[in-house]
Amino acid sequence: MEFLKRTEEELLLLDAVDRFIEKRIKPLREAYNDVPLPKSVARQVLAELAEFGYIAGTAPESVGGYGLSNVMQGLLTERLSRAFPGLAGTAFIHSAMTNRIAMAGSKKQQDTYLQKMLNAEMIGCGAITEPDVGSNTADVSTRATRTEDGWSISGEKVWISNGNISDIASVVARTGDGKNGLSRFLVERKDGYTSRDIPKMAMNEWSTATLSFDAKVPDWRQVGDEGKGLQITLVGFQTARAYVAMLSVGIAQACLDLAIAYAQEREQWGKRIAQHQMIQEMIADMATLTDNARLLALRGLYLVDQGVRCDIQTSMAKGYATEAAIDVASKAVQIHGACGISSEFPVERYFREARLLTIPDGTTQIQKLIIGRGLTGLRAFN
Ligand SMILES: Cc1cc2nc3c(=O)[nH]c(=O)nc-3n(C[C@H](O)[C@H](O)[C@H](O)COP(=O)(O)OP(=O)(O)OC[C@H]3O[C@@H](n4cnc5c(N)ncnc54)[C@H](O)[C@@H]3O)c2cc1C
């Protein structure tokens, strides 16, 4: 399996990242325990992560990227998520948005935004979901209306990752009727949007916000052709799903490591609990789930690197890995006994964090419908 092979240079990068995470990221996780990361802190740490290829790392060096493969960027994502899932989510979203401008933005969009995003002077987000539009992306109702020299955009978006710390949003808005009536626009906060964080059960370091748009943008901010907004979004989902899978793999691996360490220390019935067969069974199941999830995600990222259609494979990865992480985190809690549900032990936080990821970028049910559609050739959803 080619995607499991790493070059000498890639191994050196992973090693450097491990040292950076140990020194810089782990203390940050302790400092921000389920509270929003202040924008200044997010800016600073995203800029530091960019030095390791975390921000648009797959973009070519000619436009400021690192020329990494998606497989490699996925491995970076797993490592960051293992240490600090909320920050990994923040970096993944900002990177995806930066990468889109690097790979598909117009010359003017690249000249205006790319450098500022690569060094996190501007933080990005992608705004699709609305109060009445979740799984069915095609129903977006935020309107973009033509003005003399551009577009007027009005509507409300919800659950937008990085929303409250964002300076710029890639917004899906309606320019016409039906599925071919959606387009994408780059909207700066100063053009006219406000935000409010939505509190959630975990990962509050990772902003998810309501954005209210009453904005005017010039023509050159349109991304891609008019009417292609849904298509651009669906292609973006194909890749993003493999990255969300890697966020979950990071959480699962962290839980597995913590559970093994605890089981090797804790004694009951005169021996370490790792010597009880049912504890070993849980650890074996956790390791198998985590490895399966990682392999599915890396295969998906490898296919993205090959430039082939791989919606079935990345949906398998996303659906499987996010559910597996919940199972692994739950078993980690079980192995810790009562300590597992104490906020003084780290598995409690990972358990809540794992629960979030079955929802964004298509719920588990939507992933299954995509897989079913691909295999049968028949749509069970519109
Ligand atoms: C942490 C997080 C980050 C997010 N980040 C972003 C972001 O950056 N940008 C953005 O635009 N959005 C973002 N979202 C929103 C996310 O994409 C939506 O929450 C998701 O698409 C589901 O929509 P919904 O929550 O409205 O659920 P709904 O679509 O209302 O679904 C509710 C339930 O119905 C099920 N369901 C829906 N349709 C079907 C069907 N056809 N068949 C079977 N079951 C179905 C779902 O699986 C789910 O169980 C984020 C969400 C979270 C939790």
**Is 260 a pocket residue for ligand 1 (Cβ < 6 Å)?**
no
Q: Both 256 and 164 in a single domain?
A: no
pLDDT for 1: 81
Say which CATH number the domain at 35 has: 1.10.540.10
Q: Both 78 and 154 in a single domain?
A: no
Residue pair 128/97 in contact (Cβ under 8 Å)? The answer is no
- The DSSP line for 78-122 is HHHHHH-HHHHHHHHHHHHHHHHHHHH--HHHIIIIIHHHHTTSS
Q: Does residue 131 surpass a pLDDT of 80? A: yes
pLDDT for 217: 98
Say which CATH number the domain at 305 has: 1.20.140.10
Within-domain flag for 381: no
**Is 88 a pocket residue for ligand 1 (Cβ < 6 Å)?**
no
- Average pLDDT of span 181-190: 98
Q: Both 221 and 234 in a single domain?
A: no
Range of the domain at 42: 2-118
**Is 381 a pocket residue for ligand 1 (Cβ < 6 Å)?**
yes
Q: Both 171 and 112 in a single domain?
A: no
Atom 2 of ligand 1, residue of closest alpha carbon:
360
pTM of the model: 0.98
pLDDT tens per residue across span 1-39: 888 999 999 999 999 999 999 999 999 999 999 999 999
Q: Give distance in angstroms: CA of 129 to centre of ligand 1.
A: 8
Atom 24 of ligand 1, residue of closest alpha carbon:
134
Within-domain flag for 283: yes
Q: How far is the C-alpha of 85 from the C-alpha of 244, rounded, in Å?
A: 10
The best mutation among 133, 135, 200, 251 to test binding of ligand 1, ranked by most ligand atoms within 8 Å of the C-beta, falls on 135
Within-domain flag for 247: yes
Within-domain flag for 94: yes
- Average pLDDT of span 234-259: 98
Q: What is the DSSP letter of 140?
A: -
Indicate the number of domains in the chain. Answer: 3
Q: Both 112 and 149 in a single domain?
A: no
Which of 227, 251, 279 lies at the terminal end of a domain, its last residue?
227
Residue pair 77/246 in contact (Cβ under 8 Å)? The answer is yes
pLDDT for 24: 98
Would you place residue 369 in the very low, low, confident or very high pLDDT band (cuts 50, 70, 90)? very high
Within-domain flag for 382: no
Other CB atoms within 10 Å distance of the CB of residue 162: 29
CA distances from 3 to 54, 296, 297, 349 (A): 19, 11, 11, 31
Which of 203, 227, 251 lies at the terminal end of a domain, its last residue?
227
Q: Both 149 and 218 in a single domain?
A: yes
**Is 159 a pocket residue for ligand 1 (Cβ < 6 Å)?**
yes
